[in-house]
Amino acid sequence: MRNRFILLICLATLISLAGMAQSSYAVVAIPEALLKNASVIKRTEDIRYEITEGNKASFYQKVAYTILDEQGDRWATHAEWYDKLRSVESFEGSLYDASGKKIRSIKKGEIKDVSGNDNASLADDNRVKWHSFFYKVYPFTVEYETEIRFKGTMFSPDWIPQQKGAMSVQHSRLTVLSPVSNPLRYKMFNYKGEPVVAEVKQGKSYTWEVKDLPAIKEEFAAPSWHEITTSVFLATEKFVLEDYQGSNASWKDFGKFVYDLKKERDELPEEVKQKVRQLTSGVTEDKEKVRRLYEYMQQNTRYISIQLGVGGWQPFDAKYVASKRYGDCKALSNYMFALLKEAGIRSVYTVIGSGNDNDYLMVDLPSSQFNHAILFVPQGKDTVWLECTSQTNGAGYLGGNTGNRYALAVDENGGALVRTPHYGMNENLQIRSIKATLAEDGTLLVKSNTHYSGMQQDNIHGLINNLSKDKVKEYLHEELDFATYDVNQFNYSQDKSILPVIDETLEITVSNYATVTGKRLFIVPNIMNKTYRKLSATDERKYDIDLGFEYKDVDSVEIELPKGYEPEAMPQPVSISSQFGKYSNTVKLAGNKLIYYRSIEQYSGRFPAKTYPDLVKYYDAVYKADRSRVVLVRNEQPLKGF
């Protein structure tokens, strides 16, 4: 990195001496501080977003990137998607060399126009226009200028000048023009002061501007990107989506818009109504009715994404799903809503942000922040949550994709923020019991029984419910933490409840697990659950530590040793307690059996950057403790009479 930095400075100096630095895109014009830790420099960006009285909008952007190395190549490509609600009015670009001299501009025929279908959608009207210069003489600069027109203002652009950690920003500006009749709402992160607001012919203009943002060195367990760099999120008070009008004045108002999209779309065909009555006949508990109807829905539908105009937000009606036997998240949630309604059970349609890294909601900026729909069923003090796109989940379980976050529940009264279930340490368990036998040559026969619950079973649930047995075995042969091994047997059993459980049994033969040297035998008693997290103690931490996933692991191991060995070196018991977690292990010899016990509790939470050295020490101590070895020596007593 340092050599490349020196090379760039030397190159820039030579360019300057040669009198070639006339262009503002010359590398010599980049402040030295912006080159550190950067693979790309955003030289300039000018964005203008104009909202009209008719609830339409236009978006103009001119942006230039200087690409310093291969890691910055992605920014030499520019793409704009479009559909029936969004059109690309213009698309231009130019390429510049290190001196800032224009090499060429793109020709109209060089702009690719391809389908934006992600192959997971049955119907999708998205298309993408894109271009790349495919240039490799570093450093070089690309400039793109585009204009977009929007039919409606439900989706406002975000302004995040620094898009990745290895990007520094020389200059970026956002200007928003909004009519007085439709006030602009916004939320800012890491922006000093307030935007410049002025009265203009169109109503009001808002301008945000930043200069000389150095590249951000990415850190382990850093907060969300928008929390550590400058960002602005926008929403208009009123918006339009095709023929539907909505309001972001409050979550209640936004929820009313979502509800209106699905209103009167829950009528079932007569044969499905009869099936509902059949499934719930004689059942007295609503939870059991919910379970039966949920399983019926899972067995008779499948998930297919459908993204057509307003269809990105409006579900297909229940009769459509019943006849086609498929639907997207909205359609399947609405269909499940209809099944429950027919059974006399109230449920609530809910929109949410889905994804392990999408658990943050700006609660003080009511707007479209959701990409998924689920359902919940109020049951007194309890609530049954239903992920209607899953054909394998048990009724009531959401998991890591939608658990532990805010969602917007909508009904005829509008919207209200709710929290989805929290899966914490007591839910996310991994309890393992191992009985193993060690042979004279160091081969270990392992018989393992593991109990997974909550989010700890999510990945395994996906494996055993979506892969064939041969593919699961193939996965086990690649992923277990041994150098050379064979999986002799494996089996899984599931309890698909509100807190799902998977029990796993494995029989594995591990070659050369123990090291045999002369009369000594070296063995690590922690067979299957070693941590691999090690952090650099020399890093200077800048941002808070955000540990999100909490869990508990317990391992009990019993290893039957070859006869004739006695201990030469045994690890001492380890007990570590910190604000980040708690760890302990013990090992002892009972006859010819090595007994090992390990427990770790990983906490979640937000911790100040100054605690980073303590986190380094904690992880390092756990790493070492997990690899502690037992040294055994053969007891070679002479035979009697000699």
For the cut 80, the answer to whether the pLDDT of residue 95 exceeds it is yes
**Residue 544 belongs to some domain of the structure:** yes
What's the CA gap between 607 and 72, in Å, rounded? Answer: 32
Residue 624, H or E segment = helix 612-626
Structure tokens at 445: 């026969």
Domain edge (last residue) among 211, 241, 271? 241
CA atoms within 13 A on the CB side of 620: 9
DSSP tag of 642 = -
The band of 13, judged by pLDDT with boundaries at 50, 70 and 90, is very low
| Same-domain pairing of 179 and 278 | no
| Same-domain pairing of 390 and 438 | no
Strands (E), 190-304: 196-200, 203-213, 231-236, 238-241, 244-247, 302-303
| Same-domain pairing of 341 and 353 | yes
Structure tokens at 29: 């014009």
Residue 366 has a pLDDT of 97
- Cα torsion angle, 177, 178, 183, 185, sign: negative
| Same-domain pairing of 216 and 261 | no
Residue 176 has a pLDDT of 97
| Same-domain pairing of 477 and 520 | yes
| Cβ(207)–Cβ(153) below 8 Å | no
| Same-domain pairing of 165 and 149 | yes
The band of 18, judged by pLDDT with boundaries at 50, 70 and 90, is very low
How many C-beta neighbours within 10 Å does residue 384 have? 21
DSSP tag of 78 = E
Lowest mean pLDDT among 111-120, 397-406, 481-490: 111-120
| Cβ(618)–Cβ(576) below 8 Å | yes
Backbone phi, then psi, for 536, in 5-degree steps?
-75, 130
Residue 2 has a pLDDT of 44
Q: Alpha helices of 526-611 — where are they, by DSSP H?
A: none
For the cut 70, the answer to whether the pLDDT of residue 594 exceeds it is yes
**Residue 129 belongs to some domain of the structure:** yes
| Same-domain pairing of 445 and 486 | yes
| 303-324 core/surface letters (b: 16 or more CB in 10 A; e: else) | ebbbbeeebbbbbbbbbebbee
Name the β-bridge partners of 408. 351, 417
| Cβ(501)–Cβ(511) below 8 Å | no
Structure tokens at 561: 């040793």
Q: Which domain holds residue 265?
A: 245-419
For the cut 70, the answer to whether the pLDDT of residue 125 exceeds it is no
Residue 562 has a pLDDT of 94
* Residue 108 CB contacts under 8 Å (≥ 6 apart), including other chains: none
* Residue 25 CB contacts under 8 Å (≥ 6 apart), including other chains: 43, 64, 66, 96, 100, 141, 143
Residue with the larger pLDDT of the pair 640 and 440:
440
Q: pLDDT tens digits for 487-527?
A: 999 999 999 999 999 999 999 999 999 999 989 999 999 99
Domain edge (last residue) among 419, 453, 470? 419
What's the CA gap between 602 and 223, in Å, rounded? Answer: 18
Q: pLDDT tens digits for 255-283?
A: 999 999 999 999 999 999 999 999 999 99
Lowest mean pLDDT among 175-184, 347-356, 373-382: 373-382
Which SS3 state, helix, strand or coil, does residue 548 take? coil
Prediction pTM value: 0.90
Spell out the SS3 assignment of 421-463: CCCCCCCCEEEEEEEEEECCCCCEEEEEEEEEEHHHHHHHHHH
| Same-domain pairing of 442 and 415 | no
Q: pLDDT tens digits for 605-620?
A: 999 999 999 999 999 9
Residue 388 has a pLDDT of 96
Q: pLDDT tens digits for 218-237?
A: 899 999 999 999 999 999 99
| Same-domain pairing of 402 and 465 | no
Backbone phi, then psi, for 595, in 5-degree steps?
-110, 120
Q: Find out whether the peptide bond into 31 is cis, omega within 30 degrees of 0.
A: no
Residue 639 has a pLDDT of 46
**Residue 424 belongs to some domain of the structure:** no
Residue 12 has a pLDDT of 46
Q: What is the CATH number of the domain that holds 341?
A: 3.10.620.30
Burial tier of 209 (Cβ tally within 10 Å: 0-12, 13-18, 19+): middle
Question: What share of the chain has pLDDT > 70, as a percent?
Answer: 93
Residue position matching structure tokens 């004045």: 249
What value does the mean pLDDT of the chain take? 92
Q: How many domains does the chain divide into?
A: 3
| Same-domain pairing of 315 and 452 | no
Structure tokens at 46: 């000018």
Q: What is the CATH number of the domain that holds 43?
A: 2.60.40.3140
Average pLDDT of span 397-419: 96
Lowest mean pLDDT among 139-153, 293-307, 405-419: 293-307
The band of 636, judged by pLDDT with boundaries at 50, 70 and 90, is confident
Domain edge (last residue) among 419, 450, 474? 419
Residue 22 has a pLDDT of 44
Length of the chain: 642
Residue 124 has a pLDDT of 58
| Same-domain pairing of 302 and 160 | no
| Same-domain pairing of 149 and 181 | yes
For the cut 50, the answer to whether the pLDDT of residue 45 exceeds it is yes
